[in-house]
């Protein structure tokens, strides 16, 4: 297979080896760099373990891109199409790494951090340094959960966002481009909202931790795995998004305002925007057929879920 590009990964921890496995399997030449001799020596075996998991998930493509494992950044960075920094969440370390990359990497290279919480504008505060830099926030483990959030700094160029999206898409990810920089990105903001309410409900004695997990595992989780919150809302309500917002919006607003939240009102313009974006994906005429599909798909998913839960050791 012809090399699809060249990726340099800084850090041979779980995220770094997972990225390396995906891109190598897609035919990219991959150089993974880690100064920790124990991690670097174990990188090849760890990548193969990730590849086995990809095969189990039916995601393996069969590519066999060249793999280089190095202990320090060498001249290979000069030919990289993209560099992904996947090291510890230490701001000072990331700042030093990116200043070095700006000097050494090709002017055409995309420079990304896989940070879970640190935005690029904190790593490189000067707008002049941000044009080809962004956050590429994965879902752990990236080898299996193929979603990548691309979060720009204020001065990240549109060309950088486009090229990064193309590279990740070529490797088999579904890239989501954020419109502007925001703390926590999208995934962690959604996850954080659920966790904050989960802790409140346990703290208030409404429900225990295991029962709360059961609500998600047996109720919300299977639906959201297939539909997401907007599609779930419209498939659950005759009349779709607009009818759901009219029926449930006041109740959800009261719940949010009862917690001291702001911005809980779904304006007519906002509902219309969401409805329009949903109709671009599934037409109004196709909604009944989509709902029928979901019933069968949820049934199949539940069967697999229950089988897997029955195999759990604890």
Residue 139 confidence class, pLDDT cut points 50, 70, 90: very high
* Nearby residues of 194 by Cβ (< 8 Å), 6 or more positions away: 216
Q: Which two tokens stand for residue 151?
A: 């979060």
Same domain, 145 and 208: no
262-288 mean pLDDT: 95
Same domain, 62 and 120: yes
Number of domains in the chain: 3
Residue 182 lies in a domain: no
Residue 56 lies in a domain: yes
* Nearby residues of 218 by Cβ (< 8 Å), 6 or more positions away: none
Same domain, 156 and 87: yes
- Predicted pLDDT at 43: 94
Residue ranges making up the domain that contains 199? 187-223
Mind listing the pLDDT tens digit for each residue in 32-91?
Answer: 999 999 999 999 999 999 999 999 999 999 998 999 999 988 888 999 999 999 999 999
Q: Phi/psi at 274 (nearest 5 deg)?
A: -65, -45
Whole-angstrom distance, CA of residue 246 vs CA of residue 222:
25
Same domain, 159 and 19: yes
Same domain, 155 and 237: no
Same domain, 15 and 156: yes
Same domain, 214 and 238: no
221-250 mean pLDDT: 94
Write down which residue in 153, 177, 201 finishes a domain: 177
Q: What is the CATH number of the domain that holds 130?
A: 3.40.50.720
Residue 153 lies in a domain: yes
Whole-angstrom distance, CA of residue 103 vs CA of residue 79:
13
Residue 274 lies in a domain: yes
- Cα three-residue angle 88-93-97, rounded to 5 degrees: 110
Residue 298 confidence class, pLDDT cut points 50, 70, 90: very high
Mean pLDDT estimate for the chain: 95
Mind listing the pLDDT tens digit for each residue in 102-138?
Answer: 999 999 999 999 999 999 999 999 999 999 999 999 9
- Predicted pLDDT at 3: 73
- Predicted pLDDT at 2: 62
- Predicted pLDDT at 74: 82
Residue 80 lies in a domain: yes
Same domain, 234 and 217: no
- Measured CA distances, 83 to 99, 114, 205, 223, 301 (Å): 13, 10, 47, 36, 36
Cβ burial, residue 150 (10 Å; 0-12/13-18/19+)? buried
Closest CA to 180 of 146, 135, 138: 135
Same domain, 39 and 122: yes
Same domain, 42 and 136: yes
The DSSP string of 219-273 is IIHHHHHHSHHHHHHHHHSTTHHHHHHHHHHHHHHHHHHHTT-S-----HHHHHH
């Amino acid at each position: 297979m012809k090399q699809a590009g060249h990726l340099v990964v800084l850090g041979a921890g779980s995220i770094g080896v997972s990225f390396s496995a995906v891109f190598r399997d897609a035919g990219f030449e991959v150089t993974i760099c880690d100064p920790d001799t124990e991690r670097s020596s174990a990188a090849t075996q760890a990548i193969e373990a990730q590849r086995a998991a990809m095969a189990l998930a039916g995601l393996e493509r069969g590519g066999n891109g060249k793999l280089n494992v190095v202990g320090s950044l060498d001249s290979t960075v000069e030919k990289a199409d993209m560099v992904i920094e996947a090291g510890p969440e230490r701001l000072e370390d990331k700042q030093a790494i990116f200043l070095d990359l700006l000097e050494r990497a090709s002017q055409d290279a995309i420079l990304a951090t896989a940070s879970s919480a640190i935005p690029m504008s904190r790593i490189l505060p000067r707008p002049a340094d941000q044009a080809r830099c962004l956050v590429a926030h994965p879902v752990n483990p990236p080898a299996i959960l193929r979603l990548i959030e691309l979060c720009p700094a204020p001065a990240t160029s549109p060309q950088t966002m486009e090229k990064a999206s193309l590279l990740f898409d070529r490797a088999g990810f579904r890239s989501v481009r954020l419109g502007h920089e925001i703390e926590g990105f999208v995934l962690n903001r959604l996850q954080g909202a659920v966790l904050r309410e989960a802790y409140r409900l346990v703290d208030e004695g409404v429900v225990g931790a295991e029962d709360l997990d059961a609500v998600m595992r047996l109720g919300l989780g299977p639906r959201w795995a297939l539909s997401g919150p907007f599609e779930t809302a419209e498939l659950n309500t005759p009349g779709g998004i607009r009818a759901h917002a009219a029926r449930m919006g006041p109740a959800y607003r009261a719940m949010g305002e009862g917690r001291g939240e702001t911005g809980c009102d779904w304006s007519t313009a906002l509902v219309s925007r969401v409805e329009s974006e949903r109709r671009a994906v599934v037409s109004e005429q196709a909604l009944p057929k989509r709902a029928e599909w979901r019933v069968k798909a949820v049934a199949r998913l539940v069967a697999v879920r229950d089988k897997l839960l029955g195999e759990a050791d604890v």
